[in-house]
């Protein structure tokens, strides 16, 4: 039979203490909202028809999301807190996008977040022993394209008309009108447009 050990004090060289972290960082109402949304997400949302964008917009709005006209969310998208989501008109979240929006997540008009991208609007303050939760917003401007499997970190703003390369890791702001790629993502050139 396995033996259980009594809790002991952490070694003096440990920088953070999980026994000092908040065990329930949300209100009861927030936990209830998350549970209700989870049930809707795994049923009515995820089992909807592939092109039932209007239905999914309707469901998201019922949970407080601000959804622009013709904004499109694929049924395999995972959204943690719809009430912290704002999508402007004609924007798109592609297949298997993860929106870990502990903080607010905004995506502007005519912007695309491609498949399997991870939006991370939450982290912890690693400089404090109790690792408090930080809910840092993520903002994606208008006319942005984020290519497949990118990671967009907490507190990041991506300027209008920029492109983020596939599998890029964006941990700081990206200016508008540029192409950025790599880990960590760096601007590699301006974005130019050919019309006609």
Cα–Cα distance between 108 and 140 in angstroms, integer? 6
Three-state DSSP state, 107: strand
pTM to 2 decimal places: 0.89
Are 96 and 130 in contact, with CB atoms under 8 Å apart?
no
pLDDT in tens, 114-123: 999 999 999 9
Q: For 44-48, 85-89, 127-131, 151-155, which range has the lowest pLDDT when averaged over its residues?
A: 127-131
Average pLDDT over residues 76-81: 97
Q: Mention every residue, 6+ apart, whose C-beta is less than 8 A from residue 48.
A: 55, 56, 75
108's tokens = 């502007």
Q: Mention every residue, 6+ apart, whose C-beta is less than 8 A from residue 3.
A: none
Domains, the chain, in order of start with CATH, read: 27-188 (2.160.10.10)
Average pLDDT over residues 28-49: 95
């Amino acid at each position: 039979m396995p033996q259980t050990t009594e809790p002991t004090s952490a070694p003096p060289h440990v920088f953070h203490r999980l026994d000092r972290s908040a065990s329930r960082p949300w209100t009861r109402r927030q936990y209830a909202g998350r549970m209700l949304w989870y049930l809707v997400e795994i049923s009515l949302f995820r089992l909807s028809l592939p092109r039932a964008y209007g239905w999914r917009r309707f469901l998201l709005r019922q949970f407080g999301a601000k959804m622009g006209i013709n904004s499109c969310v694929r049924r395999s998208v995972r959204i943690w807190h719809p009430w912290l989501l704002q999508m402007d008109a004609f924007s798109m979240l592609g297949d298997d996008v993860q929106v870990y929006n502990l903080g607010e997540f905004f995506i502007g008009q005519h912007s695309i977040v491609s498949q399997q991208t991870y939006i991370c609007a939450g982290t912890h303050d690693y400089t404090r022993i109790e690792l408090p939760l930080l809910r840092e917003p993520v903002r994606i401007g208008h006319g942005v394209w984020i290519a497949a499997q990118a990671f967009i970190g907490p507190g990041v703003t991506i300027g209008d008309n920029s492109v983020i390369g596939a599998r890029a890791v964006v941990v700081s702001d990206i200016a508008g009108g540029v192409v950025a790629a790599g880990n960590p993502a760096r601007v590699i050139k301006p974005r130019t447009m050919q019309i006609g």
